[in-house]
A and B are shown apart, each in its own frame.
Chain A
Amino acid sequence: MSVSASIFILILLAGAGFFFGRQRSLALVSGKLATLHSLPNQYGWYVGILMLLPGILVILLWIVFSGNIIDTMVIASLPDHAGPATEQARALLLNDIHNTAAGAPHSGSSEIYIQEAAQRYSRLKSQGVNIVSALVALFAVIGGLAGFRTIRPDLRARTHVERVILILLILSSVVAIFATLGIVLSLIVESARFFARVPLAEFFFGLQWSPQTALREDQVGSSGSFGAIPLFAGTLLISFIAMCVAVPLGLMSAIYMTQYSRKNVRKVVKPLLEILAGIPTVVYGFFAALTVAPFIRESGGLLGLDVASESALAAGLVMGIMIIPLMSSLSDDALTAVPEAMRDGSLALGATRSETIKQVLIPAALPGIVGAFLLSVSRAVGETMIVVMAAGLAANLTANPLEAVTTITAQIVALLTGDQEFDSAKTLSAFALGLALFGATLLLNMLALSIVRKYRESYE
């Protein structure tokens, strides 16, 4: 008997409960539906839910707490000489027992007491599952009987069922909120650990970024300095280049699409532009690294310029292209939201189309366009794949777009790729960078949304 089998049986039982509850409600009024408070199906659901809920609760409790309880029981049953002295020894011991029980190869000693403990572990576990299954079935039967017996024509089954559904809906949104909170909290906690080792001032104002810390005393080339300014500067440089591409192109394409293009042109071009938004950023990344960067390097060479093979320019240009659809479709929305009456009013005064666009439509849509701009910036700042592949990892503090720079996101990838020890300043600095990035994009998004919201109100 496994947990999944008992879930299956529970669902079958609840299904039967649904059927009988429905039959019972119909039988009670001998088919005269109007005398029932709720629909027959709702009586069915009522019985079904009464059977399901306690069972689900028991299974959840089992999943959450069983591991700890069984572990404690197994450790307590160990012979005195084998009892672990420290927390770490206990974890190692448990690991051995789990692995032995699962029949997996393990590093621990195959001493006899471990074998015994493993057997005991398996036995406890299967006993536990059996108890849980029995409980689930018992509760389902009790719930079903209680539900079945309480069905009366005036029982408000619909109210009860809808309350359960409401709670389910609330729980779903709570999950999303707690996931966000959890992520933010973990960022903050890990960053706090980082800032315990590296002072805030060094991180936010230091000009030197080289996160290699010495593992041994005599190691060379590992200064371990954590000044994040070169990363912030690199991020800003690349985002700036990206916005130089995305803003004019996105805005102009939005103007063309909303004001000049004919309906059938728009019908083709707009979806095409949206396909651009669907290209995975990895693809943009190798487009930047393999096509654009060499091209820039060669054309720079023809002009006598020294271009790094991984330049900020290449990454920024490609990132700009990636952001065009976002900028364009948000500006498109902003321009479309300007009432037709504005345009007609201006045209009726004898303004040309371009005068109308420049002097009435864009000013009217400006808050929306600014919102689009800020959302695009936050997209550029948070973009990772393109910069990892095309911008390089050298933390140069430079404003020259032909040199290689690195960004916050690219550094986080570099810091956390591969095997890492999670208590060195090097690894922890990734969390501090993540927190800085999160703070920046959160601010930008909040600003953008508040501008967009303010603008929505102005026409209503």
Chain B
Amino acid sequence: MEKTPKMQATNVHVYYGDNHAINKVSLDVFAEDVTALIGPSGCGKSTFLRCLNRMNDSIASARVEGKITLDQQDIYDPKIDVVQLRARVGMVFQKPNPFPKSIYDNIAYGPRIHGLARNGEEMDEMVITSLQKAGLWEEVKDRLEAPGTALSGGQQQRLCIARAIAVNPEVILMDEPCSALDPIATAKIEELIEDLRGRFAIVIVTHNMQQAARVSQKTAFFHLGEVIEYGDTADIFTNPEKEKTKDYITGRYG
């Protein structure tokens, strides 16, 4: 049976001024999978990721062509409210970026702006569940009023994931979420991604090929703004079709 993709990119081009950053990329993201985007630096993985929730809108020189859909609906349609789109497609960044607020307020921020909680109890509930889902609850339950910036790097990143979860999105985009973390914190984030799989469609950009192999079901190999190969992670890593993919994953260049 053919699965319907959660998000579908068709012939996407991205330009930064005269620079052609993404060239004719087509990619399907499935709701129950973790999709990994790998490739050398500057190959356009992050740029592509930022197209999926229109974060490129805030860069004045960026121009996106082609079609990206979420549940068959074009997200670049002028009728689409970018604020609502981002509530459905959340994002976690390379460097943990908690707001300079308390841990509680960091989580409650999203639900508050979207009016998701009717009263204080519901809000408390929402904060607790989000922290639990992000595997941070046990570590912070006694200090919800402490500033989010006082946590360690790995905890901050899980706080950011909890913050994204709190809005109850359908897709979570992760832009190299572990690149600023040590191996232990990285392992925790990877466990967390495994836990979250199935509840959210996850797209993760990573430099670390072992990480892509560990956490993802689908992998796309980007090179110079193009998708060289896209398929099941197991296939890409054990039996790549293209010579370039093989060279990259065996570490011959990159």
Contact = CB atoms under 8 A, between A and B. Distances in A.
B93 interface: yes
Interface stretch (B6-14, B79-87, B204-212): B79-87
Interface in B59-113: 60, 83-87, 90-91, 93, 95, 97-101, 109-110, 113
A364 B99 CA distance: 8
Interface in A347-395: 347-352, 355, 359-360, 363-364
Prevailing SS type, chain A contact patch: helix
A342 B86 contact: no
A359 B112 CA distance: 11
B164 interface: yes
A349 B58 contact: no
Contacts of B127: none
Contact of B60 (A262, A343, A346, A359): A262
A440 B18 CA distance: 55
Contact of A344 (B93, B98, B163): B93
Contacts, number: 69
Contacts of B90: 348-349
Nearest to A343: B58
Contact of A349 (B60, B87, B95, B98): B87
A348 B100 contact: no
Contact of B160 (A339, A345, A350, A359): A345
Contacts of A268: none
B53 A348 contact: yes
Contact of A360 (B55, B60, B99, B160): B99
Contacts of B167: 349-350
**Max chain A Cβ within 10 angstroms of own Cβ: one of B97, B100, B113:** B100
Contacts of B83: 350-352
Interface residues of B, number: 27
B97 A344 contact: yes
Nearest to A351: B113
A263 B87 CA distance: 28
Contacts of B85: 350
Interface string B123-166: 00000000000000000000000000100000000001001100
28 contacts: A262-B60, A339-B97, A341-B93, A341-B95, A341-B97, A342-B99, A342-B100, A344-B93, A344-B97, A346-B99, A346-B109, A347-B55, A347-B86, A348-B86, A348-B91, A348-B93, A348-B164, A349-B87, A349-B163, A349-B167, A350-B83, A350-B84, A350-B167, A351-B110, A351-B113, A352-B83, A359-B109, A359-B113
Interface of A: 262-263, 339, 341-352, 355, 359-360, 363-364, 458
The 3 A-B residue pairs with the shortest CB-CB distance in the complex, in nearest-first order:
A350-B87, A341-B97, A348-B91
Given A350-B84, A458-B149, 6 more contacts: A346-B99, A347-B58, A348-B86, A348-B90, A350-B167, A352-B83
